[in-house]
Structure 1
Amino acid sequence: MSSVTSALPQRQDALVVAGPGQLSLRQDAPLPHMAPDMALVRTVAVAINPVDAKMLDYSPAVGAIHGYDFAGVVVAIGSDAPRHLSIGDRVAGAVHGNNSLEPRVGAFAQYVGAIAELLLKIPDTMTFEEASTLGIGLATAGLALFRELEIPASIGDLIDRDGRAGPASDVTPNATWVLVSGGSTATGTRAIQLLKLAGLRPITTCSPSNFALVLGFGAEKAFDYRSPDCAKEIRAYTRNGLAYALDCVSESDSAQLCYGAIGRAGGRYCGLEPVRQAVAASRPTVRASWLMVLTMFGGRVALDGEYAREASAADRALSAKIFAATQTLLDNGRIKSHPVRVLADSWAGVIQGVDIIRTGAVSGQKLVVRVD
């Protein structure tokens, strides 16, 4: 560790996995080990994702600290960390919580050990609570669009030749449509913004109550996913030419909707869960894939069953490029934060938030808890 603030505690408060679906507050948890490419962050706020409930329920790593998204203040920096980071910086990012291979690392703790090149410096106009929503949603949207779907744009298209933000307002009528199913989710609003900045034409599905939200983030058109004619309406709007669909909902109904919306010539579909065989077989001209975002950290993903992944240096490198481009966008005020609903009661609020996520009772907002 090349740089460190005043003496750090030996122990910390953290929410650890106690069993399937169970979190327990531990007040003597060890701080994370610090590798040279990491930074240690004192946590101020955490965001709660569907994956927090899903992996806790179905692939719990008992004894590991849980949580993925966080924002806080840098208190120590590894010797190989990017030089633009300094002690005292306000940052946001994501880590692989609920990880049996690194049980000391998780967002639901007073101190988070994060890969430094996957941290974002928070602009002065953004609160810790707002910034805590950035990490996982940003990486998911970026990896899905630029790697899985291979949209006709590059990460470099997000930034203009002078190193500023890309062309959010000068999308041409002939640009490619991309469907974002579940556009009012945090990942959905990230994807919409990235697509617009890359010069493409994002269209989306969500509830009518969230139409104003997604249009405000840059969607060209919003469709009611509950409408029995939704897929038909999308085909008509895109003149039967839609070729790319990112499914941020990733349930059977949403996958079928995406498949139905893709045009006559077929295309590409990316979900966040395995695609059911019946759906995949319904249209052989649609190439389906699904994203396990935890490969963004480069290490092996030791989860159960089909969620397991081998280490991927390529995914970490691509994620670093996505975060670097996003930093420029943040610095230029071109990334908007997802609406947040702040829960009270610190660690008890986090446990409550995970329970709320299980019910599916959150729409158009991200649950966030202030924990400092």
Structure 2
Amino acid sequence: MFPPRLAPLLPARFRFRQTLAAHYGGRVRGAFVAVPAEAPPDPHREPLRVHFWAPNPWPSTAIHVERVVPELRRQAAALDLPWQITSGRLPAAPVDWLLCLKSIPPTGVCNPRRTVLLQPDDADRVWGSLHRFAHVVSVSSPVFASLLGTVHPSAWFIDETEARDVIDAGAAALDSAAPSCRSPLLLWHGTRESLDGLLAIRDALAAFGTDGGAELIILTNLPERTERWGSLPVRFVAWSPDALTAFAARARLGIVPARPTLADSYLKSAGRLRGLFARGCPAIGDARSPDVVAFSEECGMPSAQTSEQWLGAIRQVWQDAARLDQIARTGHAMVRAHFSVARTAAQWLWFLAGGAEGLDRRGDQTLPVSPPPVRLGPQPAQHPA
């Protein structure tokens, strides 16, 4: 670590990587508040103009804004709160709350005390501008919230969400065919930029192929083709939301290995893993992500890091029909209970209706909320930042 007096002179992205490495090594921890998923006992009832600013059509825009805003409107209306909740481009007139997804707004759009950053990933791009926000919110993982809390005095954590129709489709898939009764399909999905995580365990998958019968489906944005990894047939299929839901309902097991960098493994949420469980497909995630480890342990599913661990975990659950089916049911129920649109909207309701400004107070001080313990899990000998 550089001396603190020199830190402001370093490029923001370098400071981000330095802080990330220190956090991963357990040398720093930041405080954050996990936002409750309940209505505040005495919500502020003044008229509010709340705007979610999402300037780009990222996948995160759909997850953290487009899914949540309609439900937040419904819950606010049910409490007779006189709120106007909008989303999209920057508003033409100033608003009372401006929630910015992965972007730095111009000045004058909102009171700085009510300007909020929503950050699921790519923190290096905004690391030098966090001071522009009164609040920073991790909408991915508690570990990321803790990292933000090392450099910002008001860090929060709000859960990711799965769409209601996806969760319902997963329930229908499980009722139609338990995973152990499905075709012997092993499923991976992601962009071609994420393939490096899958290719890192190619040898383990080729070894699994020697057991016979299984086929690997790769849903991605590459031309469709077939090939073989050792004895394992591999089929590349064009990704789409409908294709993901359809193959998740047909697959016996999913796999979600992480990419090699710290930001793409240690900081990542269990979102891709939960997305498969939501669709009725049990899946194995990467043990380098504490969020993945925590979710997997609650489901009873092993997680994996090394090729040997991946091969052992896949074989273990593939061959245990009763355990595989129970894990699938448990994981789907967890997603429905804790990662629904209704729950995430309730967290934002609490935040906006007084929670972010210190609804619980002793004198003039907001009650401190300690972050939950972060389980780092097994750490690799080398892990490039």
TM range (shorter): under 0.3
Which of the two has greater strand per residue? 1
Structure of higher CA gyration radius:
2
If asked which structure has higher relative contact order (CA below 8 Å, sep 6+), I would say 2
Which of the two has greater helix per residue? 2
